[in-house]
């Protein structure tokens, strides 16, 4: 199985602050990354995906990708308590839409 | 948005018994998936399924596991017989066809094997 590593394991930011989450794949066959958010006891919900080098922004969320290093990062500006959740990074494998997940970053936004 | 449902939310069974986990995918989706998450560990791919066939499966998809979707009803994961190490949360997902189609996940079924 591929290895997808996420850091940090947990992160605490104040309300209104910036949260930065990291993800790296060790498999060079990966060409697409997904970020999911999972509130406790709920389904993982897709936040953003990226496959091109560079940056993609949607509202308060920005995703970066460096394909040479297979590193992606998710940045949440103006963090809100409702952003508190487990953030999962997934790399798309080469066959039949198989997703390989990291262990996640638990984000806590303190009011 | 589109929702994937899973039934039951929690199942407790004795080791050696059979269990069937049910998934109600998004109505127009054609690809179906099962992922397994042991407590405290990352979610791992088990199997995907399209047009009545398993397309890809991982090493975690043991011989005791099977999947089917008879005539557009639930997409099911059957484990027979169960083992203690099958205790986990099982997530179902579905997607449209296409290499980069978004996978929509259900809330999971927590399986406890005693």
Confidence check: pLDDT of A2 > 60 = no
CB contact under 8 A, A97 and B95: yes
pLDDT of residue A31: 77
- Chain B interface includes A95 (CB < 8 A): yes
d(CA B45, CA B58): 7
What tens digit of pLDDT does each residue of B6-54 get? 999 999 999 999 999 999 999 999 999 999 999 888 999 999 999 999 9
B49, β-bridge pairs: B32, B54
Touching check for B54 and chain A: CB below 8 Å?
A: no
B109 touches chain A (CB under 8 A): no
Rounded-to-integer distance, Cα A58 and Cα B20, Å: 39
Contact B33 A97 (CB under 8 A): yes
Q: How far is CA B70 from the centre of its chain?
A: 15
**Predicted local confidence at residue A11, as pLDDT:** 97
| Per-residue confidence (pLDDT) for residue B68, from 0 to 100 | 95
pLDDT tens string B57-95: 999 999 999 999 988 789 999 999 999 999 999 999 999
Q: Residue A72 above 80 pLDDT?
A: yes
Cα R_g (chain A), whole angstroms: 13
Q: Given an 8 Å threshold on Cβ–Cβ distance, is B43 in contact with A49?
A: no
Interface residue A35 vs chain B (CB under 8 A): no
Among A10, A96, A106, the residue to mutate for chain B (most B Cβ within 10 A): A96
Is the predicted pLDDT of residue A94 greater than 80, yes or no?
A: no
Instruction: Report the pLDDT value the prediction gives residue A27, as an integer from 0 to 100.
Output: 85
CB A48 within 8 A of CB A33: no
pLDDT in tens, A75-93: 999 999 999 999 999 998 7
What pLDDT sits at residue B41?
87
Phi, psi (degrees; rounded to nearest 5) at B85: -75, 0
pLDDT of residue A95: 73
Residue B107 is predicted with a pLDDT of 94
Please write the tens of the pLDDT for every residue from A15-63. 999 999 999 998 888 879 999 999 988 899 999 999 888 999 999 999 9
Residues A102, B42: C-beta atoms closer than 8 Å: yes
HEC string of chain B?
CCCCEEECCEEEECCCCCEEEEEECCCCCCEEEEEEECCCCCCEEEEEEECCEEEEECCCCCCCEEEECHHHCCEEEEECCCCHHHCEEEEEEEECCCCCCCCEECCCEEEEEC
Contacts of B55 in chain A (CB under 8 A): 95-96
Residue of B103, B104, B109, B110 to mutate for A, most A C-beta atoms under 10 A = B103
Q: Do B42 and A4 touch (CB under 8 A)?
A: yes
Q: Which residues pair with B9 in a beta bridge?
A: none
- DSSP E strands in A1-111: the ranges are 4-7, 10-14, 19-25, 33-38, 45-50, 54-58, 61-66, 71-76, 85-92, 99-101, 105-110
Is A49 an interface residue toward B (CB < 8 Å)? yes
């Amino acid at each position: 199985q591929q290895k997808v590593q996420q850091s940090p394991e947990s992160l605490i930011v104040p309300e209104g602050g910036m949260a930065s989450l990291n993800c790296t794949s060790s498999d060079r066959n990966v060409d697409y990354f997904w970020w999911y958010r999972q509130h406790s006891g709920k389904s993982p919900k897709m936040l953003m995906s990226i496959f091109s080098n560079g940056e993609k922004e949607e509202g308060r969320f920005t995703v970066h990708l460096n394909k040479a290093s297979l590193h992606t990062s998710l940045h949440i500006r103006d963090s809100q308590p409702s952003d508190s959740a487990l953030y999962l990074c997934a790399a798309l494998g080469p066959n039949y839409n198989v997703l390989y997940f990291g262990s996640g970053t638990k984000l806590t936004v303190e009011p | 948005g589109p929702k994937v449902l899973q039934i039951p939310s929690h199942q407790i069974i004795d080791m050696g018994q059979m269990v069937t986990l049910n998934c109600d995918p998004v109505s127009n989706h054609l690809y179906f998936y099962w992922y397994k998450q042991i407590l405290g560990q990352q979610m791992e791919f088990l199997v995907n399924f399209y047009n009545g066939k398993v397309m890809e499966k991982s090493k975690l998809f043991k011989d005791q596991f099977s999947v089917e979707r008879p005539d557009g009803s639930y997409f099911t994961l059957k484990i027979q017989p169960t083992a203690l190490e099958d205790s986990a949360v099982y997530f179902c997902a579905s997607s449209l066809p296409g290499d980069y189609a978004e996978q929509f996940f259900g809330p999971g079924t927590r399986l406890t094997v005693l």
